[in-house]
Structure 1
Amino acid sequence: MSEMETYVRKKQEAETAESHYVRGTSENASLGVGSVVNLKSSFLERLGSVSAESLGRFLITEITHTVGEDSYYLNHFKAIPAVVHTLPAPDVELPVAQTQMATVVSNADPRGKGRVQVRMNWQTEGMRTDWIRVMTPDGGSSESVKSNRGFVFIPEVGDHVLVGFRYNDPGRPYVMGSLFNGTTAGGG
């Protein structure tokens, strides 16, 4: 099975798991996410007696605990059948990174690719990013120039730079350019 087929199968299984769930209420304070419970459904029969029917074993995927005065306790949970092999995909919003200021702390790229390490303004002393690429007006190679074609710009240690993020993904930073500041120059 190819990697794509495996991905599609797992995605379909996760969506199926999410569509087959039950919600319940309990007074059992020991329940938590990951607990497996035997659920019963109670209903009122025609003659006025209560009957319980087993629904089977379920895995709790969400739970909210409520505690009140006088030892009041109640929880509300969401659960999927315990036989499901793939858990539902979590509904988590991806973080979005905005353009940020940073200071270059190293430009001695061990791979010689012109990357730099920076300390974002929110990072504490001693912290730094991994090696990140630097944007340039023209980069790459051509038939006549095999490498370092165009404008090569590597910020110096101590330079203030503007860091952008490809697709606003905080895991894909790049240096957009350097900025003048009071210690480097008065500006152009």
Structure 2
Amino acid sequence: MDISELDARALHDLVPIVEALTDADLGAPTPCIGWQVRDLLQHMNSEHEAVSELLLPESAVLDADPRKAFGQIISRWITATGAALTDGRAISVPKFGTEFPAESLLSIHFADMLVHRWDIAKALGVDPDLPEDLVGLALPIALSIPDTGPLRGVNGYAQAVPIPDSAPPTDRLVAALGRSPDWQRP
């Protein structure tokens, strides 16, 4: 399976979770410091669309409900990034102010979407139940993100949370992207 297929699988797995969110769920705190589920959803929608708008010729007409818009937005992302990957184009990420090779960006994005799935599940107080095969593929990607640079800090990931190498793979994955695996819904 290539990286665009892995990324698409992680995104498609998120759609029913996002669409099932209730109004009350949107107000739940997440493991992302200072963010509620609605903030996380807004982040995912706006960041995906910012990239897609640069790569696709047509503008989006999105559903006003961010839960329903998510599926539309990820469809645009998959089309846009898939074309960039096929063409060998770099992808500009506005929030970082830089371009990334398509394969590198999709690799990091794939790991990120698994962690956002974990974020939402933890916010809702349910078992994240991330697919072991995807976690196994995403873990080395997450562990390869440098401690400094554009992917860390204000616009990027929090610093990795120290965790033993013997910890379960899902715990190591979320820790690599700055989450405490022990985080519990208040």
TM-score with structure 2 setting the length: 0.18
The structure with the greater share of residues assigned to helix is 2
- Greater length-normalized contact order (CA 8 Å, ≥ 6 residues apart): 2
Q: Flag the structure with larger Rg.
A: 1
